[in-house]
Amino acid sequence: MSFSDEFELLLRARYPLIYIPTCEEERVEGAIANIAKNQGNRGVYIWDFVDGYQGNPNDAGFGKRNPLQALEFLEKLSASAAAIFILRDFHRFLEDVAVARKLKNLARLLKSQPKNIVILSPRLAVPEELSEVLTVLEFHLPAAPEIKTEVERLLAATGHSLEGRVLDQIVRSCQGLSLERIRRVLARAIATHGELRPEDVDLVLEEKRQTIRQTQILEFYPATENISDVGGLDNLKEWLLRRGGAFSERARQYGLPHPRGLLLVGIQGTGKSLMAKAIAHHWHLPLLRLDVGRLFGGLVGESESRTRQMIQLAEALAPCVLWIDEIDKAFSGIDGKGDAGTSNRVFGTFITWLAEKTSPVFVVATANNIQTLPAEMLRKGRFDEIFFVGLPTQEERRAIFGVHLTRLRPHNLNSYDLDRLAYETPDFSGAEIEQALTEAMHIGFSQNRDFNTDDVLEAASQIVPLARTAQEQIEFLQDWAAAGKARLASKHSSLSDRIKNQLR
């Protein structure tokens, strides 16, 4: 149901107090004005703390710097007069005992009158004593049709036009921005060279990065890694390549649903985060990184509000990849956290969205310690698949050495004995292989020469791999994967042989 339909329904049902969390005051006020006009030309009164009531000359300035007086104004009007009262930034006064009591009294009174109070606020902050009388209504960021109308309006003003493909590209790049930001960035583009051009998409993307940075929840992450930059993990790569076109319109016509996401579980340093970046780059989708710790705020209701904001922003930017690194640390032991149930509510909102989302947001979550993850996270339906990423085999270690040395020394790659390097580094993860190469470069640099195979092996001999220092944890993970709890990311691994032996 659209905002207009839902708001009209609340007006007809005489919901007295409606709370709309949004930063788009101008846009939501315009939408309410149109709805009021369609509903028998209802009166619309707008109040803010600085200027009081506006619009009607007879009442201009009434209630200035007095929120309680602003509420008393409703009782001045005839009981039969249909009206909507918009109160800007009124969330700041809800904790006041007099304001809260007055709102409760008005909620009882307005059930029998065609009047509604609308509180506009940039964030959701509902005190517990008002939770029963306030109705929260979401006002979403502009969708593609609304953005397209705005872009065409700006084009008409400049006397220029764009071909359909470029217009669709600009519209898609604007998704996730407020209408005010879209107008501002496109006006900047037009002011620069007098028209809109295909390269203006970069300007829009920079504005989008700025918007995401300001939320302090999501991070617009540059993804430059290729699938080929990840050594091994053939099963996982094959699974991803098969779904490369699943976000296209042709896939929708075929009847395919949007891919939901992946949970990558395994040992630290085995390429889980690198794979998240490679997925976004390979599918040509924006990569958003979520730090779950940023969802939790100190104010009552702030954490839940941030979670809803994150979901709304991710869906507005869809299709995209949402990367959640080390999700096990964020939601470990939520039942025992002494935060008045905030963690449980945030977790509940998040996993419900994972299960029910229909938008093309592909979630890639990584976890090192499966023991600390709540069982609900592992239930089928949250993710398309759970993959176990184990320690690389000798063949995969050779591929990982090859990837790094191709980047570091492409001119003399053949001078390195990759087979020997792979054989001499058992139990090394991809991160530990990279560290050994870095240390070998320090050895060569300190002696004014290029590093060689022996330097790499000397560096590797000084590294104690995680497979030895955290042997019990790794064995638990391998047993968990061997029990069939997850698909293996690698085709050829010691764990694969172990599972085959168990099945015989």
Residue 437 makes CB contacts below 8 A (sequence gap 6+) with 401, 404, 405, 408, 456, 459
Fill in the amino acid letter for 277.
K
Whole-structure pTM value: 0.70
- Residue-range definition of the domain harbouring residue 163: 144-215
Closest-CA residue to 389 (of 242, 504, 230): 230
Q: Are residues 153 and 265 in the same domain?
A: no
Q: Is residue 480 part of a domain?
A: no
Q: Are residues 305 and 436 in the same domain?
A: no
Pairing of strands 43-48, 52-54: antiparallel
Strand ranges for 113-215 from DSSP E: 115-121, 134-136
Residue 161: its pLDDT value, please? 81
Two tokens at 374? 């709540």
Two tokens at 474? 């790794």
Closest-CA residue to 123 (of 294, 341, 307): 307
Residue 158: its pLDDT value, please? 83
Strand ranges for 243-357 from DSSP E: 261-266, 287-290, 320-324
Q: Are residues 170 and 78 in the same domain?
A: no
The stretches of 383-451 forming alpha helices (DSSP H) are 394-408, 418-423, 430-446
Q: Are residues 243 and 372 in the same domain?
A: yes
Residue 500: its pLDDT value, please? 45
Q: Are residues 405 and 384 in the same domain?
A: no
Q: Are residues 130 and 105 in the same domain?
A: yes
Q: Are residues 168 and 253 in the same domain?
A: no
Residue 20 CA, chain-centre distance (Å), reads 21
CATH number, position 95: 3.40.50.300
| Number of domains making up the chain | 4
Q: Is residue 476 part of a domain?
A: no
Last residue of a domain, one of 91, 109, 136: 136
Residue 279 makes CB contacts below 8 A (sequence gap 6+) with 227, 240, 262, 321, 362, 364
Separation of first and last alpha carbons in the chain: 54
pLDDT in tens, the chain (504 residues): 789 999 999 999 999 999 999 989 999 999 999 999 998 889 999 999 999 998 776 778 899 999 999 999 998 888 999 999 999 999 999 999 999 999 999 999 998 999 999 999 988 888 889 999 999 998 988 888 899 999 988 888 888 888 877 888 888 788 878 898 899 888 888 888 888 888 888 788 778 777 777 777 888 887 778 888 888 788 998 999 888 888 877 888 888 888 999 999 888 888 888 888 889 888 888 889 988 877 776 555 677 778 888 888 888 778 889 999 888 887 766 655 555 567 788 888 888 898 888 888 999 999 888 888 888 888 877 899 999 988 888 998 999 999 999 989 989 889 999 999 999 999 899 899 999 999 999 999 999 999 999 999 999 999 988 888 888 888 888 888 888 888 888 876 555 544 444 444
Q: CA 104, 110, 114: angle at the middle one, nearest 5?
A: 155
CA distance 326 to 378: 14
Residue 503: its pLDDT value, please? 40
Residue 358: its pLDDT value, please? 85
| Torsion sign (Cα): 116, 119, 125, 128 | negative
Q: Are residues 102 and 180 in the same domain?
A: no
Residue 129 CA, chain-centre distance (Å), reads 31
CA distance 101 to 253: 54
Fill in the amino acid letter for 402.
G
Pairing of strands 487-488, 43-48: unpaired
Closest-CA residue to 313 (of 140, 144, 170, 173): 140
Residue 363: its pLDDT value, please? 93
Residue 499: its pLDDT value, please? 46
Fill in the amino acid letter for 391.
L
CA distance 310 to 129: 26
Last residue of a domain, one of 364, 389, 414: 389
Residue keyed to tokens 């509902």? 126
Q: Are residues 119 and 253 in the same domain?
A: no
